């Protein structure tokens, strides 16, 4: 199954037989609005604390994903989930309700593709018929935990990103219809010494570039083999850097659509509070399981490479003067021939 140094090729082509996305009001007001399954009209998600709100997003998305997959909770064999909260409590409490065997994972915003890669690995290896990957983030839990509570009204530089409120889940199976997962490239930590948590796009860009180059080297593929290559959430600053880095590596992305989930989810002109763009565990999850899967169903996209990026800092590592280690995991999706 290993092809090249760090890429798994899934011979049985595990299939995303059902997925779901739920988002908050700001994401619901953005350009991808029509691709989400449910849009909450209040940032509190009808809950009393931000943490309960984030958990509810994941509970909601996971139950919708199971419904879309046409399976019951009892049929689900493994749930692989994570989030940005300390001790990934959102995923854990959601896993308590989902009640399936649970593997908690953490890759910051790369958790979306880390969990999907592990789900595909398990299904491809015959370790499950049904495995679900899922993640969530909430703007206010993250602001409170990593920076300042939103109510403080602290100002931010233009390089800062805006954590999205939303959750995306995908049920992977060894049979059924839907996008096939053909490859996963597991990233290495990249750390260029950047210490500014308000410029995570720049910190994460080298990790995205490294994983993209590695994916092409391992698979023998190139940009022209994909209709869309999308980075997780580098936003405006990081996405420009990764283009530049790839170009210096002799890799032109002109032959494909090259975009970023953090840029796609908001209209930065109209929604200018998002600064450089979106981020958060939920960002690449809702863009992939919402927008991208919709475009694949509509036959507008056939092959997509999702390169989810993660900035693996903690408030404490930052306060102790450490730089920001970053990672990116890539998953290749393919529309099955002839499918709707």
Which parts of this chain interact with a second copy (CB under 8 A)? 1-2, 5-6, 8, 49, 51-52, 77-78, 82, 84-89, 92-93, 95-96, 99-108, 114, 118, 121-122, 124-129, 186-189, 191, 312-317, 320, 322, 325, 327
Residue by residue, what is the 3-state secondary structure of 32-59? Answer: CHHHCCEECCCCCCCCCCHHHHHHHHHH
Distances (CA, A) of 321 to 148, 190, 309: 18, 17, 22
Cβ at position 195, least distance to a second copy in Å: 14
Helix (H) or strand (E) holding 332: strand 326-334
CB-nearer residue toward a second copy: 272 or 320: 320
Cβ at position 44, least distance to a second copy in Å: 15
Phi, psi at residue 204, to the nearest 5°?
A: -85, -20
Cβ at position 113, least distance to a second copy in Å: 11
Asked if residue 187 lies in contact with residue 232, where contact means CB atoms within 8 angstroms, the answer is no
Cβ at position 13, least distance to a second copy in Å: 15
Cβ at position 270, least distance to a second copy in Å: 32
CB-nearer residue toward a second copy: 1 or 158: 1
Residues in CB range of 337: below 8 A, 6 or more apart:
none
Give me 9's structure tokens.
């090729």
CB-nearer residue toward a second copy: 106 or 162: 106
Strand partners, 309: 328
Asked if residue 274 lies in contact with residue 318, where contact means CB atoms within 8 angstroms, the answer is no
Cβ at position 100, least distance to a second copy in Å: 7
Helix (H) or strand (E) holding 186: none
- Could you please report the per-residue DSSP string of 216-243? HHHH---GGG-SEEEESS-HHHHHHHHH
Widest Cα–Cα separation across the chain: 54
Cβ at position 162, least distance to a second copy in Å: 19
CB-nearer residue toward a second copy: 206 or 290: 206
Rounded Cα–Cα distance for residues 84 and 75 (Å): 28
Cβ at position 330, least distance to a second copy in Å: 11
CB-nearer residue toward a second copy: 22 or 88: 88
CB-nearer residue toward a second copy: 171 or 301: 171
Cβ at position 302, least distance to a second copy in Å: 26
**CB hemisphere CA count around 265 (13 angstroms):** 40
Rounded Cα–Cα distance for residues 147 and 175 (Å): 43
CB-nearer residue toward a second copy: 102 or 198: 102
CB-nearer residue toward a second copy: 91 or 170: 91
Rounded Cα–Cα distance for residues 243 and 252 (Å): 8
CB-nearer residue toward a second copy: 14 or 28: 14
């Amino acid at each position: 199954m290993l092809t090249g140094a760090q890429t798994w090729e899934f011979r049985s082509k595990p299939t995303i037989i059902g997925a779901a996305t739920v988002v908050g009001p700001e994401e619901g007001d953005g350009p991808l609005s029509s691709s989400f399954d449910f849009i909450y009209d209040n940032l509190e998600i009808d809950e009393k604390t931000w943490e309960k709100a984030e958990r509810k997003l994941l509970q909601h998305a996971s139950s919708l994903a199971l419904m879309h997959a046409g399976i019951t909770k009892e049929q689900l064999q493994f749930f692989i989930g994570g989030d940005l909260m300390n001790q990934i409590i959102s995923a854990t409490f959601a896993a308590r309700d989902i009640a399936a065997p649970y593997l908690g994972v953490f890759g910051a915003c790369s958790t979306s593709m880390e969990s999907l890669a592990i789900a595909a690995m398990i299904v491809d290896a015959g370790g499950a018929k049904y495995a679900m990957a899922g993640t969530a983030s909430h703007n206010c839990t993250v602001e409170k935990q990593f920076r300042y509570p939103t109510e403080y009204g602290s100002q931010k530089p233009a390089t800062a990103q805006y954590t999205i409120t939303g959750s995306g889940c995908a049920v992977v199976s060894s049979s059924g219809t839907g996008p096939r997962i053909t490859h996963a490239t597991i990233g290495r930590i990249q750390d260029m010494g950047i210490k500014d948590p308000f410029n995570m796009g720049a910190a994460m860009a080298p990790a995205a570039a490294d994983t993209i180059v590695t994916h092409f080297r391992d698979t023998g593929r190139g940009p022209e083999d994909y209709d869309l290559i999308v980075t997780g959430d580098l936003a405006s600053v990081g996405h420009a850097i990764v283009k530049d880095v790839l170009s210096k590596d002799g890799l032109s992305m002109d032959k494909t659509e090259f975009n970023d989930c953090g840029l796609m989810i908001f209209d930065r002109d109209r929604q200018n509070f998002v600064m450089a763009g979106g981020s958060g565990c939920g960002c690449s999850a809702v863009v992939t399981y919402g927008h991208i899967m919709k475009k694949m169903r509509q036959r507008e996209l056939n092959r997509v490479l999702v390169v989810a990026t993660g900035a693996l800092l903690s408030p404490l590592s930052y306060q102790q003067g450490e730089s920001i280690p970053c990672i990116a995991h890539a998953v290749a999706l393919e529309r099955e021939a002839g499918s709707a």
